[in-house]
Amino acid sequence: MPLSLSEESYLASSLSLRPPCRPDGRDQHQFRPLDASAGILPATNGSARIRLCDGGECIVGIKAEVVESRKEDVALVEVQCDIAGVQSNSPLHTFLCTTLETALRNTLPASRLSIIHRYTYKLFIDGIILDHVSHPLTLFSMTVYLALLDTRLPKLIPSADVASTTTSTSSSDQPIGLPQFESDWQESVPLCDKAWSPPLVQLAVLAGKNVFVDPTGEEAGVGDGAIVVSWHQGKVVGLRTVNTRDSSKQVFSASRDVTEALTRVVS
């Protein structure tokens, strides 16, 4: 339900107070409680579901496909999402998918997906947002993050590659160089380990001099503007301003506002 003008101005002024006062009593850098589970879809390489306390729910499944890596700049990650109640090809879709896709492409080294010289994995990340009250970017990104942590890739049998190149006997039934995988799923290897963890993308709303993480729909509606922060292995790797409403007064008189946003810790 849209807020009336007086409600809006009340919320806007209470958010720009110092210290600010959020309607749900949260701290500026505090997330809402959420319910998360991973590995819920058995037919995928990795999957996750996250439910927020406001009713927002998102399910993400990841499938890996073996493709030939002929060209250098072939896209190895494809993100698609479906939002209940929103037409596919709406600006929100594009925004979610491109933001996640660029964040992943910029941080995921190609070596992590390559199998043997000519073949590589391609990740298809499909999400469905069953319901959302607040902006779905944070929810979607967290679910993708969890699903990527859950993703397991089948173990490669090393002998297949070596045998086909050294002895020609095995090549009669198998084409040369085609990767062979262990059929036992227990042997599969996780995509993420200590060396690489997936990026997270968060939406933060600015109101006056304050920055809020995990904004509710109302907070985003009255805020002066928003920034999208991509975060990867303890570092900020991307930063971008977006508008959450039409007539924005969003300006940064000094760089202080932005740096302030980055000091917060992602839970």
Binding interface with other proteins (CB under 8 A)? 73-75, 78, 80, 91, 94-95, 97-98, 101-102, 105-111, 196, 225, 227, 230, 232, 234-243, 246-253, 255, 258-259, 262-263
CB of 146 to other proteins, least distance (A): 21
* CA distance linking residue 140 with residue 201, whole number of Å: 9
CB of 260 to other proteins, least distance (A): 10
Of 107 and 134, which CB lies nearer to other proteins in the complex structure? 107
Of 218 and 224, which CB lies nearer to other proteins in the complex structure? 224
* CA distance linking residue 227 with residue 236, whole number of Å: 12
For residue 226, the 8-state DSSP code is E
CB of 151 to other proteins, least distance (A): 17
Of 33 and 254, which CB lies nearer to other proteins in the complex structure? 254
Of 38 and 100, which CB lies nearer to other proteins in the complex structure? 100
Quick one: which H or E segment has residue 101? helix 91-107
Q: For the CA atoms of the chain, what is the radius of gyration?
A: 22
- 217, two tokens: 């729909």
- 166, two tokens: 């050294």
Upper half-sphere CA count for residue 65 (Cβ side, 13 Å): 11
CB of 220 to other proteins, least distance (A): 14
Of 180 and 197, which CB lies nearer to other proteins in the complex structure? 197
Of 184 and 246, which CB lies nearer to other proteins in the complex structure? 246
CB of 82 to other proteins, least distance (A): 14
* CA distance linking residue 131 with residue 127, whole number of Å: 12
Angle (CA) 60-119-46 rounded to 5° is 15
Beta partners for residue 123, in sequence order: 64, 77
Angle (CA) 199-214-143 rounded to 5° is 45
Of 17 and 251, which CB lies nearer to other proteins in the complex structure? 251
Three-class SS state of 239: strand
CB of 164 to other proteins, least distance (A): 28
CB of 44 to other proteins, least distance (A): 19
